[in-house]
Amino acid sequence: MSDDDAEKLFLQEKPTLALLFIGSMEKTYASVISKEIDSTFAHTTRILTKMEQCGLIRFTFEGRIKFVELTEYGGEVETALNEFRNIIRESAPRGEEAEASGEEAARGSVKGARAGSEAGKAEEEKGENENEKIKELNPVNKEIFGKIRNLREKIENIHREALEQGDSRDMISRKLGPYSRDIKKLRNMIETAESPIDEMVTESLEESSSLLESYLKR
């Protein structure tokens, strides 16, 4: 079993990934976490609610923006999970164990396919709801929201291609760094807009900004 296989076996559950990501970001948004752990927004929200009930995270507000961050207890759990991950990476066994684990993975494939189908339906519903909200925006909000969405797609595509090409952290930063200026330009458009800006638009920009920052920090 390779180091990566061992890590996926024990550390790919959504709550674990969410906790580790929040710890790496200090504070972030639910929608960014959802994208990072490849989960629907609704499922991510349920995970965060349970984590808050367990005392692992807290929600804070800055204006209308809702942030997620670890509590002191959550930080201790994150540290323990990182130590566990390091142990797996350093001492994962090789050989026949990998073959045995393959059988277990095969048994879970059907269940995973069903879960993936349900997640896909939820994501589709989320997209439809967002499209309905977009239709209700006035022209100024629609224009700014469109620019934000296009910018986010560019950032995600460049980051994905950079990872596929095996680019270094410095190279990724050089490719994505200039987009910080685009974030600032969009903030200025919002601040100087003649009509009120919908909360959906401002949250979308802040989420895109947070996503860019997370890519630049890695």
Tens-digit pLDDT profile for residues 146-164: 889 889 988 988 888 888 8
Is the pLDDT confidence value at 122 over 70?
Answer: no
Confidence category of residue 11, pLDDT binned at 50, 70, 90 = low
Sequence-distant (6+) residues with CB within 8 A of 126 are 40, 41, 42
* Amino acid 111: pLDDT: 53
pLDDT attached to residue 113: 46
118 pLDDT more than 70:
no
Query: What per-residue confidence (pLDDT) applies to 104?
Result: 55
Q: Percentage of residues in the chain with pLDDT exceeding 90?
A: 6
Q: Which two tokens stand for residue 69?
A: 């961050």
pLDDT at 40 over 60: yes
Q: Which residues, 6 or more positions from 100, have their beta carbon under 8 angstroms from its beta carbon?
A: none
Q: Could you read off the pLDDT of 169-197 as tens digits, one per residue?
A: 888 888 888 889 999 999 998 888 888 88
Q: SS3 for 57?
A: strand
- Please report which residue ranges of the chain form alpha helices under DSSP H: 3-11, 14-25, 30-36, 41-53, 72-91, 97-136, 139-164, 169-176, 179-192, 199-217
How much is the pLDDT for 6?
Answer: 54
The residue among 93 and 164 whose pLDDT is bigger is: 164
Question: Longest C-alpha distance within the chain, in Å?
Answer: 67
pTM exceeding the 0.85 threshold for the entire prediction: no
Q: What is the DSSP code (8-state) at residue 95?
A: S
CA 138 – CA 133 distance, rounded (Å): 11
Paired strand residues for 31: none
Comparing 21-30, 45-54, 131-140, the range with the smallest average pLDDT is 131-140
Query: Which two three-digit tokens encode residue 11?
Result: 């550390």
